[in-house]
Amino acid sequence: MIHGVIGANGAGKTTLLRSIAGLDKDYLGEILYDEKNYSESLIQDITYISQKPYMLQRTVFENVAYPLRVRKLDDIENRVMCILKQIGVEHLKDHDATVLSAGEREKVSLARGLVFNPELILMDEPTASIDPKSVQDLEKIIIDYQRTQNATVIVVTHNLSQALRMCDTLSILQEKDLHTVTREELFESIQEHNKMDQLMAQDYKILGV
């Protein structure tokens, strides 16, 4: 399933995702993965695509190949070229990844995060810096990947329309409280108030949270 997390700036969405990814450990309580506590071996099946991805100082190809190399997987050339073509950045394969535009970095980061077929994908505003046409293409890639691999995707987004297009369920994070809504409830709320253009300003009021 694809689960969306929305909330105001500073609500803790990124912290939530980083905690699930095992990058932040300063929290109370437990995070269970298939009823097991986090261990570093679980990281093999998790990918986290951050808002401002760090590009390694090498080509795009080598950036995307990196997770395959550290996992000692084979057929690296084919797997990398396949994912680069899917994402639509194969023309950048020999480019220095550190000089890419913000949108290109996000696409390469997505390719790097999916190339090893993870089961849990955590995305922090994955299309924030991408042009509208590419946003649609990437959303389709993420949805197709989730369906074919039966992966679990948790995506943080500020874009309620995107949340509606992509997500099966939604959580709203507000004042450290997580409130879950379905797509149908979200759609009804938006329709009822018919204020699509004002969603960014009044979104939480609209949702009645």
Binding site for another protein (CB under 8 A): 21-23, 40, 43-44, 46-48, 53-54, 56-57, 66-67, 70-71, 112-113, 116
Sole residue written with tokens 């991408």: 130
Q: Compare residues 71 and 91 and give the one whose CB is closer to another protein.
A: 71
In the complex, the smallest distance separating the C-beta of residue 74 from another protein, rounded to whole angstroms, is: 15
CB of 196 to another protein, least distance (A): 35
CB 173 within 8 A of CB 11: yes
Please state the closest distance from residue 1 (CB atom) to another protein, in A: 21
| Residues in contact with 184: Cβ distance below 8 Å, sequence separation at least 6, in sequence order | none
Q: Which is nearer to another protein, 57 or 180 (by Cβ)? A: 57
Smallest distance from another protein to CB 83, Å: 14
Nearer to another protein by Cβ, of 31 and 70: the residue is 70
Closest CB to another protein among residues 123, 170: 123
Instruction: Report, in Å, the least distance between residue 77 CB and another protein.
Output: 18
Q: Rounded to whole angstroms, what are the CA distances from 114 to 12, 83, 122, 160?
A: 25, 8, 11, 24
Q: Which residues of 39-63 are buried (b: 16+ CB within 10 A; e: fewer)?
A: eeebeebbbbbbbebebeeebbbbb
Contacts (Cβ under 8 Å, ≥6 apart) of 71: 44, 116
Q: What is the DSSP letter of 102?
A: H
Least Å distance, CB 152 to another protein, is: 16
Element (H, E) at 135: helix 132-149
Query: Nearer to another protein by C-beta: 22 or 88?
Result: 22
Distances 187 to 1, 20, 85, 139 between C-alpha atoms, Å: 18, 28, 33, 18
| CA 67 from centroid of its chain's CA atoms | 17
* Residue nearer to another protein on the CB measure, 43 or 76: 43
